[in-house]
């Protein structure tokens, strides 16, 4: 494993993955899983979401999980918040980074957060004002959901995606990335839309969050990399999807993403053998839940030195 890091990989399994399965992983198992992910070299982990427990009981213990994650040296602890109330709770808990979901599809936005996209931009304005007041060092990130298409609405106009991204930056968000929430993206579309995003937002253009619903997750990550993206979300074992987007399954598998980049000579700072080992606390905490990944199944090539 090389010491320099060429791409940043943010692990979203403890939030995106766990909220998408019916079972609830016990808090102790979540903490063991996060420990193993950090030991593998992941430097940013989305450890949960601050949402009402009645809506997502899988996240009811998020404050306790954050407290534990904050004890791990060198780890940036990130949490998703849907609104100002969630942001208040997350900042009180001490998270290092906030991420908010803003959907480019009106239908998905209403299903996911019960607000229009424009209303979510106003919610962002309130969250940024809160951040500026109580925790000015905490970045606020937006992942534009359904940026590549929506199972509820259908096609999403690229001009709408760029306009919404600009609106998010105008209210003070630090980064805006693009999410293929429903797994509808293809590489040509990814290159085109991320090229436009980077041209429009400059340093505020953020991560690629791809799903593998149709088997194109890694291809889409590579397409994003080819046009300059250097930050990627993924989930150990491919856990996750979106409970409010029918048919949305399977985040990009962290193990496969790391292998792809390392095999290319692009350093992630992550140890693959330790990453494979991090699957064990995941399996122990969610017995019987399917986990995916071609690289863990095949093993590393003979003579692997990364």
Q: Which residues are catalytic?
A: 242
Please, are residues 252 and 234 in contact by the beta-carbon 8 Å criterion?
Answer: yes
Q: Residue 6, SS3?
A: coil
Which residues on neighbouring strands pair with residue 195, listed in sequence order? Answer: none
Provide the sign of the torsion angle of the four alpha carbons 193, 260, 235, 46, taken in this order.
negative
Angle between helix 187-201 and 217-226 (nearest 10): 40
Q: CB under 8 Å to 222, separation ≥6 — which residues?
A: 187, 260
> CA geometry: angle at 254 spanning 19 and 278, to 5°?
80
Q: Which residue has 């534009």 as its token pair?
A: 144
């Amino acid at each position: 494993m090389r010491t320099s890091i060429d791409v940043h990989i943010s692990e979203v399994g403890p939030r995106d993955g766990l909220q998408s399965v019916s079972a609830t992983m016990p808090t102790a198992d979540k903490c063991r899983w996060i420990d193993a992910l950090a030991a593998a070299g992941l430097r940013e982990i989305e450890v949960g979401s601050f949402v009402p427990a009645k809506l997502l009981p899988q996240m009811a213990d998020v404050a306790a999980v954050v407290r534990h994650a904050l004890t791990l040296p060198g780890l940036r602890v990130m949490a998703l918040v849907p609104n100002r109330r969630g942001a208040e709770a997350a900042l009180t808990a001490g998270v290092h980074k906030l991420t908010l979901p803003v959907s480019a599809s009106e239908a998905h936005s209403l299903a996911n957060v019960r607000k229009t996209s424009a209303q979510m931009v106003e919610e962002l304005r309130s969250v940024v004002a809160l951040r500026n007041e109580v925790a000015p060092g905490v970045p606020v990130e937006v992942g534009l959901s359904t940026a590549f298409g929506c199972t509820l609405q259908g096609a999403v106009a690229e001009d709408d995606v760029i306009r919404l991204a600009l609106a998010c930056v105008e209210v003070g968000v630090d980064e805006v990335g693009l999410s293929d929430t429903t797994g509808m993206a293809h590489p040509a579309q990814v290159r085109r839309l991320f090229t436009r995003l980077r041209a429009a937002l400059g340093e505020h253009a953020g991560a690629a969050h791809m799903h593998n619903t149709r088997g194109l997750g890694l291809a889409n990550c590579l397409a994003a990399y080819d046009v300059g993206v250097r930050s990627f979300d993924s989930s150990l074992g491919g856990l996750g999807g979106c409970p409010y987007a029918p048919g949305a399954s399977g985040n990009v598998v962290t193990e496969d993403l790391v292998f792809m980049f390392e095999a290319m000579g692009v350093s992630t700072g992550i140890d693959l053998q330790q990453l494979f080992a991090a699957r064990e606390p995941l399996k122990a905490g969610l017995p019987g839940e399917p986990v995916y990944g071609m690289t863990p199944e095949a093993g590393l090539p003979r003579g692997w030195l990364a």
